Structure 1
Amino acid sequence: MAKVGRFKNEQARADFMNAYAALEARSTLEAKTREIPTSFGTTQVRQCGQGTGTPIVLLHPFGGNGLYWDFVAGELADDRVVYALDTIGTAGKSVQTAPIAGDADFAGWFGEVLTGLGIDRAHVVGLSQGAWHTALVGSQLPQRVASVTLIEPNGVITKMKWSVLFKILRFGINPSEEDWRKMNAWITPGVTMSKAQFDCAKASLGYRTRLGWARVLKDAELRSFSVPMLAIFGGESVACDPVAAVRRINSLVPNADTEIYPGMGHGVLDQIPERVVPRILKHVRRHDHSPASNSV
């Protein structure tokens, strides 16, 4: 039976909320927050920007939350409104109250958030685990999605190596601060977290998510993917095989574009936002007025 995500105990919740508040206090982004009620609980949303472009919705990576996007949200919001969600069922200010039993439920939650925000359709951008969630939304709710951008979609297009999975699982048992630093340097070389970011990410381990984990999409699922897709990879990523992933996307997805940045790792967006953000904007502007899919 599907369960509801929650913090391990009240102390874990308090520790996370304190870390979240400290991280939010350091943000320089001009944003307002909204709470959107859904059938699965209340969703916290950070909103910035204005303009007539189709809105962008951002889905964060594991251990992150809507605050993660603050360093690029302003540029993404150059000619449109941008919404960064605290994904339901993850550590953040969203509060899950009902189980999400599968892909359809996750898409249902996302659709309710769009409706609560007054949005008919949106571009969806996700990083790492957020890329998995973005792929789910694009597959399950194509009529509400103008395009998707998958940044480092590990475990979605190709399998993660067992050695990588084992190292991550071993790390998650009881990580020390030194372990955290080593793991971050290995997964996202060239990316240095601030103390506030580090504290918030570490505190997120006090949350027990029930959303499940990414799975590799089947050939039939990729062939039927009707939403325009941009997939971005770091050429030296340890989280996936960029070349194999791009080959599979190009051979199966009807309306896809791909980009591999040589020398970059899993943290490609953090490493070179000045190159990745314009690439994302080029994609979304190209598909701002694409007709909605009639797929169900």
Structure 2
Amino acid sequence: MAKIGRFKSDQARETYEAAYAALAASWPLPATELDIPTSFGSTHVRRSGSGSGTPIVLLPSFGGNGLYWDFIVEDLARDRIVYAPDTIGVAGKSVQTAPIVGEADFATWFNEVMAGLGVGDVHLLGLSQGAWHASLVALHGPERLASVTLIEPNGIITKMRWTVLAKILRFGMNPTDEKWRKMTAWLTPGVTMSDAEFACARAALGYQTGLGWSRVLDDVELRSIATPLLAIFGGESVVCDPEAAVRRIADRVPNADTEIYPGMGHGVLDQIPEQVVPRVLHFLRQHDRLAAPAE
């Protein structure tokens, strides 16, 4: 994890910025956009909502950015502020200037962003690769966390099957539009991206990431997570073994809830937001904290 993420060319950056701007038009709430300086570069954050509930911070999946959450942000922000950062080291409006050398650096980055925002306690929610990033915060810098929610945490609780990895790698070697749509249909069945979403995700391939990949957490690491945790899985997910993951969490994480949605895939949040979002909000309200100043 010792590289600095950057666009492959000026043309790749311009293409992405145009796609990003088009996607931003779908954000349904008033938003304040902020650029927070950190040791690893400037982090772009979109802030929406208001209320007394403990704020939520959202970390998107691989290839995504803070705009991904447009379809659920209204529900999340009804009684609290929601922060949607563009993760450092991946495509977005954040600009990485120093490498994330080790896993603990990710927690350092996160907490520097929170300090720059003037935020104390937060609920952290990560989707897919964002669940890996949320796990790193829970392991290495959980001081601000009221809770952590992991949605489809592939390759973190149980190993991803080699056949899945091989298929993803083959796609990465020649990511045509046709292959992209086939990959999406296989990885997240029942989920259809809008034209704007597809264009932005496609343009993100023009960015060379500066972050590494997830790994399976060992037993000591899982047992060390003291932050209240919710893990959500699609019952038919191709990227993990939901039943085995739930058993492992129950046996090793001291303060955890889990939920498996039968018949749903890796895109469970997109497939049934009307079920997943209320489940998440119920968990968050159980662990809301009184507002506290940032350190």
TM range (shorter): over 0.9
The residue number in structure 2 matching 1:76 is 76
Q: Give, in whole Å, the separation in 2 of the partners of 1:151 and 1:140.
A: 20
Q: Give, in whole Å, the separation in 1 of the partners of 2:229 and 2:27.
A: 30
Partner SS, residue 156 of structure 1: coil
Matched, 1:33 2:33: yes
Partner SS, residue 231 of structure 1: strand
The residue number in structure 1 matching 2:152 is 152
Partner SS, residue 67 of structure 1: helix
Q: Give, in whole Å, the separation in 2 of the partners of 1:139 and 1:121.
A: 16
The residue number in structure 1 matching 2:10 is 10
Partner SS, residue 15 of structure 1: helix
Q: Give, in whole Å, the separation in 2 of the partners of 1:27 and 1:38.
A: 26
Partner SS, residue 265 of structure 1: coil
The residue number in structure 2 matching 1:280 is 280
Partner SS, residue 275 of structure 1: helix
**TM-score with structure 1 setting the length:** 0.96
The residue number in structure 2 matching 1:253 is 253
**TM-score with structure 2 setting the length:** 0.97
**1:144 CA displacement:** 1.2
Q: Give, in whole Å, the separation in 2 of the partners of 1:194 and 1:32.
A: 24
The residue number in structure 2 matching 1:204 is 204
Partner SS, residue 150 of structure 1: strand
Output aligned runs, 1:21-100, within 5 Å. 21-100=21-100
Structure 1, unmatched stretches of 5+, are none
Q: Give, in whole Å, the separation in 2 of the partners of 1:29 and 1:187.
A: 29
The residue number in structure 1 matching 2:232 is 232
Q: Give, in whole Å, the separation in 2 of the partners of 1:164 and 1:220.
A: 27
Q: Give, in whole Å, the separation in 1 of the partners of 2:264 and 2:98.
A: 39
**1:142 CA displacement:** 1.5
Output aligned runs, 1:92-241, within 5 Å. 92-241=92-241
Q: Does the aligned pair in 1 maintain the 2:29–2:49 contact within 8 Å?
A: no
Q: Does the aligned pair in 1 maintain the 2:126–2:149 contact within 8 Å?
A: yes
Partner SS, residue 46 of structure 1: strand
Structure 2, unmatched stretches of 5+, are none
Q: Give, in whole Å, the separation in 2 of the partners of 1:140 and 1:37.
A: 20
How many residues were matched structurally? Answer: 292
Question: In the TM superposition, what whole-angstrom CA distance separates every residue of 1:89-130 from its partner, at most 9, and x where no partner exists?
Answer: 000000001111011111111000000111112100010000
Question: In the TM superposition, what whole-angstrom CA distance separates every residue of 1:138-170 from its partner, at most 9, and x where no partner exists?
Answer: 111121111000000000000000000000000
Q: Give, in whole Å, the separation in 2 of the partners of 1:192 and 1:202.
A: 14
Q: Give, in whole Å, the separation in 2 of the partners of 1:281 and 1:159.
A: 28
Q: Give, in whole Å, the separation in 2 of the partners of 1:154 and 1:5.
A: 22
Q: Give, in whole Å, the separation in 2 of the partners of 1:114 and 1:285.
A: 20
Q: Does the aligned pair in 1 maintain the 2:47–2:83 contact within 8 Å?
A: yes
Aligned residue identity for 1:128: S
Q: Give, in whole Å, the separation in 2 of the partners of 1:155 and 1:179.
A: 23
Moved over 6 A (4+): none
Larger displacement relative to structure 2 (250-259 or 15-24) = 15-24
Aligned residue identity for 1:282: H
Q: Give, in whole Å, the separation in 1 of the partners of 2:74 and 2:65.
A: 16
